[in-house]
Chains A and B, each alone.
Chain A
Amino acid sequence: MLAHLPVLQVLIPLMAAPLCLFLRRPYLAWIFTLIVSGLTFLISIILLQQVMTSGSIVYAMGGWEGPWGIEYRIDKLSAFLLLIITAMSTVILCAAHTSIRKEIPKNRQIYFYILYLFSLTGMLGIVSTGDVFNVFVFLEISSLSAYALIALGEDRRALWAAYQYLIMGTIGATFILIGIGLMYQMTGTLNMDDLARRLPEVAQTRTVFVAFVFFTVGVCLKLALFPLHLWLPNAYAYAPSIVTAFLAATATKIAIYLLIRFTFSVFGLSFSFTTLPLQTLFVVLGLVGIFVASTAAIYQKNVKHLFAYSSVAQVGYMIVGYSMGTTIGLMATLLHLFNHALMKSALFLALGAVMYRIGSVQLSGFQGLGRQMPFTMAAIVAGGLSLIGVPLTVGFVSKWYLVLASVENGWWPVAVLILLGSLLTIIYIWRIVEVAYFKDPIVGSEPAKEAPLAFLIPIWLLVGANFYFGVDTRLSIQVAQAASQSLFGVSP
């Protein structure tokens, strides 16, 4: 059984999804999905333990070894991501039944759960596989389910956002496909390890250069790196609340994983950073993204839009850490990956609770909410503090390492800019706090009740995790450091 865990991690949610069709009632589907997600979480814990103690796990599908067959390859980076994705999925699902009762029509709810499970499957598959074409297939599974999930949003703008995401996402996936094809043409293989061995011989050809460019651009489209981020704000804002929480916590992380995996383990660090001025390019785009997106967030009237732009900014932070090309820089990115998942899922779930109670997430509707929904607003404030990077929160830990990495690299201006970014974050968080706590409720409106427990429990679990991992950083730092070091050790 233990030897099959890598495939079970992906297989269980995959087979569970069609099974949902046999459960006639949405409530049953919810319980079933929750159990399945919990199982995947347990598996990811075991896998992480295995990988941390005994090194990478390789699993050959169909008994055929790579490069003739498809191999699953779980190393420290993959295991870390598996943990994050499954944990977020399970916690967010706790609030799902209550949330979608008001946001999705009853006869579509079962499809929601099926698509959710497929989205989970796709992401787990991308992270676990060691075959580049397999990445493409599972990327499409997770993307297609994401497009459909977003389109389930109540507002008709969800449809338009989903369509735009579909177009941009498919172009990105097709670019990735082109990159894979070019790589295959020059090396004859699709297995990541094998590619890493064979690419150096042909690394100087124009074809491999173009393959790299197309692949990177495709991934950046999925990553929402400025200026390819245009699909994200609308998609996050108009999707059902649970979908936003889940995607914000996981989707861009997968894209970052792909970027790291390909530049380190397939193309090799020296190739990736020297063929194109990638370091400079990414640092610049990352920083510009941080500032443009944070500024845009300040002017938003819809709070979901605000936090969506904030997510684009956070992607910028992650790219800056990655672009440094040092162990600490990469470690900072991985930490921020972990922390951002915790922060944003808490925030978007809290917004989901607000949506549930007052039916809108316009900033104007937040007036006086601090007193009417104290626990929910406190959670939003806590998440906001984490985003700013106040000490004792996870946000502080990752910002600290980012600044540390920039200073070590001698990139002083970058360190300063990162801190400035936090200032912008303070501004947009303050806007929410001001309206919620310092303004009186709209005259004549019904007082909102506090969110139901189905929301409050997962929200506060995540907020608690925000503080816990901000103080006891052993787990996140250990794993991030080990993953970062092993990636640097592997690349030529």
Chain B
Amino acid sequence: MKDLFAVAMLSGIYGLLSASLFVTMDAVDVAFTEASVGAGISTLLMLTTVAMTGRSENTVRHKPVLALVVVFVTGALLIYGTLDMPYFGDVQAAANLHVAPRYIQDSFQEIGVDNIVTSVLASYRAFDTFGEVVVIFTAGIGVLALLTFTRRPKGDTEINSLNDSMHEQYLIVRIVSKILIPFILLFALYVQFHGDFGPGGGFQAGVIFAAAIILYAMLFGMSVARRVINQSFVQLFAAVGVLTYGSVGVASMLNGGNFLDYDVLSDDPVAGQHLGILLIELGVGIAVATVVIIIFFNFAGRIGFSKREGNKE
């Protein structure tokens, strides 16, 4: 397959299919996230990259013997390993008997949240989630470090006006999306705060929020979008997201508990848990939304640069 555009689209379809697979395997939160991230943002980034690198692949084909050997050995090893595994869906599997039952049985008394995945993610294993927020923030900073312009590119205004004039052709899409975008943003907020009761939570909400902004930027042009969303403000806000999460943990420590121990945040431990979860999910949502916006804006801002400036970056 030589067309990279098709490759990117297929990868998006693969993400969507795995999301549906996740639903059939009862992993609704994961399906939600995979659909928005794997089928949405990842594909978007790949397409943006392909826009800059050219649509077709130009490689000389030779026999990939080493790759085949490595893959064959690895695959065989994995299949060998599956032979002793508990069968798919086995209730008695070790994985389902040890740590998980407490989450299922006790989480409602200890935390008071219906969505068990949220209680594990946001409370029992909140430190992992903290690490995850840091990972996405790091990627955002990494993208910034790589794609920030060191000099203001020449002909900036000329390129932007080029973008804008093309958009007049997409009148219907522009009108429809102008109506839809507020609803998308509202949906993002709904997902953010509804994570306790159904699938949802900070990540999915953040991604949906960012998607709305990206939609706006794609249809109305980068220069307009840049006026609406100030770049340095977004960066600072991303930092605020991470710091919010950490501050909840610090507040716990100041109140006598361990880091991220929500029980001590209020007189009633369950209320404390609710408060803690609400705040950290908010931190997550803010961080994810801002970072995805930053990443997209940096990628999109680079389109057209390579064609004009050449390679002295």
Q: Chain A interface (Cβ within 8 Å of chain B)?
A: 4, 7, 11, 14-15, 18-19, 21-22, 59-64, 67-70, 105-108, 111-112, 114-115, 118, 121, 125, 131, 133-134, 137-138, 140-141, 144-145, 147-148, 151-152, 156, 178, 182, 184-190, 198, 202, 205-207, 209-211, 213-214
User: For A190, what are the chain B residues with a Cβ–Cβ distance below 8 Å?
Assistant: 99
Cβ of B138 and Cβ of A148 under 8 Å apart? yes
Cβ of B150 and Cβ of A107 under 8 Å apart? yes
Interface string of B98-139 (1 = CB under 8 A from A): 111011000000000000000000011111100110110111
Given A11-B246, A107-B150, is A68 in contact with B81 using a C-beta cutoff of 8 Å?
no
Chain B: residues with Cβ within 8 Å of the partner, total of 60
A131 to B131, CA, bound (A): 13
Cβ of A141 and Cβ of B135 under 8 Å apart? yes
User: For B253, what are the chain A residues with a Cβ–Cβ distance below 8 Å?
Assistant: 4, 7
A18 to B144, CA, bound (A): 13
Given A187-B98, A202-B94, A205-B84, is A115 in contact with B246 using a C-beta cutoff of 8 Å?
no
Give which listed residue, A7, A15, A182, A188, contacts B99 with CB less than 8 A: A188
The distance from the CB of B271 to the nearest CB of chain A, in whole angstroms, is 15
A234 to B291, CA, bound (A): 30
The distance from the CB of B313 to the nearest CB of chain A, in whole angstroms, is 9
Contacts A148-B142, A206-B83 supplied; 6 other A-B pairs, CB < 8 Å: A121-B134, A133-B128, A137-B135, A188-B97, A198-B94, A207-B82
Q: Say which one of B27-35, B48-56, B214-222, B260-268 lies at the interface with A.
A: B260-268
Cβ of A105 and Cβ of B150 under 8 Å apart? yes
A22 to B233, CA, bound (A): 10
Cβ of A62 and Cβ of B124 under 8 Å apart? yes
Cβ of B258 and Cβ of A147 under 8 Å apart? no
Whether a CB of chain A sits under 8 angstroms from the CB of B171 is no
The distance from the CB of A65 to the nearest CB of chain B, in whole angstroms, is 10
Secondary structure of the B contact surface, majority rule: helix
The distance from the CB of B280 to the nearest CB of chain A, in whole angstroms, is 11
A134 to B125, CA, bound (A): 9
The distance from the CB of A98 to the nearest CB of chain B, in whole angstroms, is 20
Jot down 8 A-B pairs with beta carbons below 8 A, ordered by A.
A18-B137, A22-B236, A22-B239, A59-B258, A61-B258, A70-B128, A198-B98, A210-B78
User: For B259, what are the chain A residues with a Cβ–Cβ distance below 8 Å?
Assistant: 4, 7, 11, 59, 61-62
Whether a CB of chain A sits under 8 angstroms from the CB of B311 is yes
Within 8 A of A (CB), among B13-39: none
The distance from the CB of A141 to the nearest CB of chain B, in whole angstroms, is 5
A61 to B250, CA, bound (A): 12
A178 to B242, CA, bound (A): 28
User: For B99, what are the chain A residues with a Cβ–Cβ distance below 8 Å?
Assistant: 67-68, 188-190
